[in-house]
Amino acid sequence: MKFETTRLGALSKLDHFIENEITNYNFKRNFDLGPKKRENVSCLSPYITHRLINEYETVKIVLKKYPYQKVEKFIQEVFWRVYWKGWLELRPKVWTDFVEDLKIIEDDEKLDQAKNGETEIDCFNDWVKELKEFNYLHNHTRMWFASIWIFTLKLPWQKGAEFFLKHLYDGDAASNTLGWRWVAGIQTKGKNYVAQSWNIEKFTNNRYQKIKLNDNAVPLVDKREYNLNQIENTDNKLSSKNLIFFENDLNLEKFNLDKYQNIYSILLDNEHRKIKLDGKVLEFKKKLIANTVKTFSKNIKLISNSSYFDLLNEKRDFDVIYPSIGENKSFLNNLIKKADLKVNFLKDERDIFCWKFSNKGYFNFKSNIPKIIASFKLS
C-alpha cells in the first residue's frame, strides 16, 4: 500500500475510486481484508487530512459523476472530518486537556507491550505491526483497536490516541482525539463502542477467530464539561505582505499568492511538538509540502527548527491560513503570546458555515449536508 505525495497523484486516486469502487462502498466499506486489499475503501484520508485535496472538492468531484442518493454514505463519511473539526473548534479545551493528561500518564510495561504488539491478542498485535509499517489502518479496525486498548487491555485512551497520532499518515487532532473519546464513551456520554469477537471475525473474513475480549465493558467516565466557544468569523482580507501556512492545509489554490512578498511554510519538528511523530510521518509531511511548493512559481520558504524564531526577528505581522485546533494552532498561539505577533487568520468560508452545525451530535450535522451542498453548489 503506497500513498502519493502530489496533488495530481491524490486526484488520480480519487478518480480511480469513483470510476471503479464507489458504488460498492456502502456494502463493502466495513470489511478489512488486509493492507494489500484496500479496494473497498478510498484510502483518501492522508490527502484530505492535509487538504492536498479538501473535503469540499472531493464531494464536488463525486457528485459530478453520481447523484447524492447513490453515494450518500461516502459523502457522509467525508463530512465526518468536517464535523469533528468543527466540534473541536467549538470546544478547544478538549484538545488542551488531552495534551495535559498525557503529561501525567507514565508509560509502564503494559503500555510498552501494547505499543510493541506483544499482547496475547493476535489481531491486535498484527494491527500494531501494520500501523507501524504502513502508517494507516482501516477505519473499522481503528474502532476495534481502540476498544481493545481501552476495555480489554485497560490502558488509558489518551495514550492510544497519542500512539495513533504518532504513526498515522492521516493523524488529525480532531478526528483522532474525538474518535478515541467516542469509543471510550466520554464523547457521547454513557455510550461506548465495544469490539465483539464475532464482528471482527465477520469483517476480516474469518482471518481472526475466537478472540478473547472484554465484550461487556461499561463506558469510561469523565466529569469534565466543555462550554461552547464562539467561532470567530473572518473577512479573509489580506492584511500583510507575509503569508504562513502549515502542512495540514495545503489547499493554496484558493489564495492569490502573487499579493504576498514572502510566503512561509512551517513544519514543526518533534522538538516543538507536544506529540512526537514517527520519522516516516514527518517525512511524508515534508514531501507533501515540497511537492505542493513545486506547483507554484512563487518562492515559498520552508521554515523548520530554529528558523521559526529567526523569522520573528525579521517580521512581525502575518496572514496565516487557519490551521484549526491542534498541534499547529497551539504552537502558533504560543508564538503570538511570546513575540507579540500580529496575525490575521484566513479561514475557508465553507468551514465556518459547516462548523455551526457541529454544536450537537453528528445526526444534526448529517441532516444539514444537503443544505451545505446546495449552499456551495457542490453538486
Note the pLDDT of residue 237.
73
CATH code for the structural domain at 110-203: 1.10.579.10
pLDDT: which is higher, 292 or 305: 292
Regarding the domain delimited by 7-88+363-375, which CATH topology (the fold level of the hierarchy) does it fall under? Answer: 1.25.40
CA distance 54 to 52: 6
Per-residue pLDDT tens over the stretch 12-60: 999 999 999 999 999 999 999 999 999 999 999 999 999 999 999 999 9
Q: What is the DSSP code (8-state) at residue 327?
A: H
Q: Which residues contact 114 (CB under 8 A, 6 or more apart)?
A: 124, 128, 149, 153, 155
Note the pLDDT of residue 289.
95
Helices (H), 116-220: 122-134, 139-147, 157-167, 173-184, 197-203
CB 162 within 8 A of CB 274: no
* Fold match flag (7-88+363-375 vs 242-346): no
Per-residue pLDDT tens over the stretch 257-285: 888 999 999 999 999 899 999 999 999 99
- Read off the pLDDT of each residue in 202-208 and give the average, rounded to a whole number: 95
Helices and strands per DSSP (H, E), number in the chain: 18, 5
Residue type, 69: Q
Mean residue pLDDT of the chain comes to 93
Question: Cα-flanking dihedrals φ and ψ of residue 343, to 5°?
Answer: -125, 130
Note the pLDDT of residue 347.
92
- Place 296 in a pLDDT band, splitting at 50, 70 and 90: confident
Task: Return the bridge partners of 303, or none.
Answer: 266
12-26, 72-86, 201-215, 243-257: least confidently modelled range: 243-257
Candidates 3.40.50.300, 2.30.110.10, 3.40.50.1370, 3.40.50.620; CATH matching 242-346: 3.40.50.620
Note the pLDDT of residue 235.
66
- Read off the pLDDT of each residue in 282-311 and give the average, rounded to a whole number: 84
Per-residue pLDDT tens over the stretch 312-339: 767 778 999 999 999 999 999 988 887 7
CB 325 within 8 A of CB 86: no
Residue ranges per domain, the chain? 7-88+363-375, 110-203, 242-346
Which residue, chain included where needed, has cell 454513557?
190
Note the pLDDT of residue 29.
95
Whether residue 306 has pLDDT greater than 80: no
Q: Is 246 helix (H, G, I), strand (E, B) or coil?
A: strand
Q: Crossing angle, helix 72-90 and helix 173-184, to 10 degrees?
A: 90
